Structure formats: structure tokens, C-alpha cells
Amino acid sequence: MMDGRGRMNEDIAVVVVGAGPAGSSAAEAAATLGVSVLMVDRKSEIGTPVQCGGFLPEASELQKLLPRARLPQTLSEIPERSILHRTRWQRVYSPSGGAKQFAVAGRVLDRRAFDRHLAARAARAGARVLPATRAKINEGAIEISGHFRGRIHPKVIIGADGPHSTVSRAMNNPPQEMGICLEYEMADVKIDPDAVEMYFSAHFAPGGYAWIIPTGQDTANVGVGVRASYLSGQSLPDILNRFVREHPIAGEMLAGGEILAVMRGPVPAGGSVAAIQKGNMLLAGDAAGQVMATSGGGIPLAVVAGRIAGEAAAGHLQDRMPLADYSSRIRDEFGIQLARSVQLRKMVDMSMRSDRLMNTLFAALSPAQIKSVMRAQIPEIFTSRAWQRDGSNQSD
Ligand SMILES: Cc1cc2nc3c(=O)[nH]c(=O)nc-3n(C[C@H](O)[C@H](O)[C@H](O)COP(=O)(O)OP(=O)(O)OC[C@H]3O[C@@H](n4cnc5c(N)ncnc54)[C@H](O)[C@@H]3O)c2cc1C
């Protein structure tokens, strides 16, 4: 398949660009169905550097979040070495410091180990994996450069290449609406190891929220995800440092800790991109905008969409389905939940610039209702005329 100078010299049916959760899930599914698959990633080491908090609800929770999705086994049976920690609660803080908590059994993944585990499964299923290799699309062909080089003419291209997807650009999708995130891996912090916490505040997390995801008894991923339009000239490091040092509740837990790693990355915030299939190209995961806009969680959708993309590519090559069916399969499995999460985010946006309104909204919602919002179910309060009138008129 490779000549002595690292150049490709073999027919490949499916090229998967990106070896994150979406790419490896797609490569495994397509290879399992018997088609030849090549997966490339520009990272020298798959899974590194990490740009993620690693929070993944247990499979039973995921099934409630995505009731119509066929969850791959890779979301339920995760090797213990890929799991850093387990949590039992989700606790949400209003700007005034009020807390509401609800039960959510969760796993905190070691994304380095998890991504490699998924890539190894794809390899075991028969996919070729090329790390340290960048893909570019040029007149329908894939040009790869870096450690491996060559020009490939696959029958299907799966773009699982993250938020700034090259494949999506080749499909003429406009750039996605993004949140920007900065996260510290911290040690020696005095956190509640049983709870994942979210903090809302126009001062500490403008246009988004800050989080504490425990990775152990006294270690955590601590981050902030905001939207650029809310920043008013502030830098992301300033915002996260302020949260860590000065937040009246979180600061007590975090200010004495040490930062072991700094991670930065974009998260799609606007839901599905315009086209997830065009010609012989499919998009899955962040590349397709498949991230729950209410939480910024993208791992479950990436794995589910990757599996569907791999099956669609193989089905098309084996004359069992047109490639265009990919979009309707995605819609059937989680289209409603993804669209609703964007709708809800837009409703909550109304109160993002006003701590007063956010406090009012928070006080009006029960813990169960907040959990519903996180699951992209719309509580009645959001559809009431009073909320729509008052919410859209507030700007302080
Ligand atoms: C700070 C932060 C915290 C987060 N926390 C959570 C969380 O706690 N829980 C959760 O569910 N989600 C979280 N997310 C979101 C989650 O990380 C993503 O939704 C998820 O990784 C999407 O998987 P993916 O496979 O679509 O894309 P990615 O994991 O981004 O993988 C894309 C891959 O494509 C490769 N690539 C890109 N372009 C090319 C190219 N031209 N050629 C070759 N390779 C290419 C990249 O190197 C990368 O490996 C977080 C995101 C950020 C930024």
C-alpha cells in the first residue's frame, strides 16, 4: 500500500479525515462492513494534545438524552484505563450563587486513552491509520502530506476533521458559529469530587458558562466557554483566571491549586451545518456542528454520527443505499435533540447579558427542569408569553 518513500499506491474506497471520536467510529463501522478505509490525522499522536473536559454521561443517561439514537457499544463499554473518574451529580450555579443539583451518573474520560482506544478498534476492524498526516481536498482528490504523502481518489470522503473542517469548506458550507474555550487541568484543588459543576455569570463567563469537572479527589478540569460577541475586549485567559481566583464559590476551591496543563479550543455552538452530505462527501461530529448547544458536549454525537457515516459510506459502496440517505439517518437518530438544544440556547441567550434576568430564570426552574434543559427538552416556562416578552426586552 505504501512505497518505500511513504507514498500511497493503492485503491482506497473511503478516506476518513480526522481520527477523533467521530473519525475512528466512522472508520471502524465502514471497515467492519468490509470496505477499504484509510483514516488520516495531522496529529503525531492520536488523541494528543487533548482539547476536552472529558465529561461523558453514563450510557443510561445518554439514552435519555438521545432517545432515538442507536448508541454504539463504544459509549457503554469503555475500558477502565480510559476513565479517570466517575461523578454522581451535576450542580448548576446562578450568578447570585444559588445552586441547584440533580443526579447524573457520569464518567470523566482520559481523552488521550479514549481516542487511541477508538483508533485501535478501527485498526483492528481493518482500517489503515496514518498519523502525522494532513489531508487537503483538491479537485475531488485527497492530497496527503506530512509523514505520509500521496494523492488518493476515494469513492467516499468522510470529514471528521473537527470544528474548522477542511472537508466542510470543500462542500461550501459557511464557517460555523463557535464558542471559544479555555481550560486548565488543575491539581491540589478542594472540589466536590462527586459533582460536575456549571457556573453562569455575565462577569465570570460572558455568553457561556464556566465548569469544574473532577478528574480525581483533588484534581479537575476547570474551564470557561464563551462566545466572542460577549467578550467586549476581555481576553479568555483574563476571564478564566478571574473565575479561578475571584469567583465567590469556585475561587474558594480553586485559588490554592496549581495548573498542570492549559487547553484551548473552539466548540460549535450553532447546531448542524447547512449540508452534511454533498456529492461523495459526508461530515460527522464537530465538523458537522453536531454538539449539544446547551452543554457543549460533543463526544456522544460524534460517536453516533461517526458510526452512521461509516455505515452510510459502506451501504452506498455496496449498493444498499444512496449516500444522500446519510442526512435523513442523522435526522432520525438525533436531529430533533440537536435542533432543540440550539433553540434552547437561543432562549437562554436572552438572559446571558443580564445577571438579574439569569437569576430570575434560575429561581423559576426546578432542578428537574434544569436537567430537562440540559437534555434539550423545553420546559413550559420557555414557551410562555411572559418569558418571551420579558426575556427579549432585557439588556442590562
Ligand atoms: C475545552 C473543551 C472542552 C470540552 N469538553 C467536553 C466535554 O467535557 N464533554 C464532551 O462531550 N465534549 C466536550 N468538548 C467537545 C468535544 O471535545 C468535541 O465535540 C469532540 O472532540 C468532537 O469529536 P470529533 O471527532 O468530531 O472532532 P475532534 O475530536 O476535534 O477530532 C478531529 C480530528 O481531526 C484532525 N484534523 C483536523 N483537520 C485535519 C486535516 N486537514 N488533516 C488531518 N487531520 C485533521 C484533528 O487533528 C483532530 O484529531 C470540549 C471541547 C473543548 C474545546
CA 161 to ligand 1 center in whole angstroms: 8
| Level-2 CATH architecture, domain 14-58+112-176+270-341 | 3-Layer(bba) Sandwich (3.50)
Q: SS3 of 192, please?
A: coil
List helix spans (H) across the chain. 21-32, 59-65, 111-125, 166-170, 236-246, 250-254, 299-317, 325-330, 336-352, 355-364, 367-374, 385-393
Mutual orientation of helices 336-352 and 385-393 as an angle, nearest 10°?
50
What is the structure's pLDDT at 246? 97
Which residues in the chain show pLDDT less than 50? Answer: 391-396
Q: Quick one: which of 90, 348, 318, 264 has its CA closest to 194?
A: 90
Question: For residue 274, what are the CA distances in angstroms to 51, 136, 140, 283, 322?
Answer: 25, 21, 20, 11, 19
Q: SS3 of 331, please?
A: helix
What is the structure's pLDDT at 140? 83
Phi/psi region, residue 140 (left: phi>0; alpha: psi -120 to 50; beta: rest), is: left
Q: Best substitution site from 299, 301, 307, 334 to test ligand 1's pocket, by max atoms within 8 Å of Cβ?
A: 299
Q: Best substitution site from 41, 226, 227 to test ligand 1's pocket, by max atoms within 8 Å of Cβ?
A: 41
What is the structure's pLDDT at 373? 84
CA 21 to ligand 1 center in whole angstroms: 8
Question: What pLDDT, in 10s, does the model give residues 357-389?
Answer: 999 989 999 999 988 888 887 766 666 655 555
CA 139 to ligand 1 center in whole angstroms: 26
Map out the domains of the chain as residue ranges.
14-58+112-176+270-341
What is the structure's pLDDT at 2? 58
- Round the average pLDDT of the chain to a whole number and report it: 92
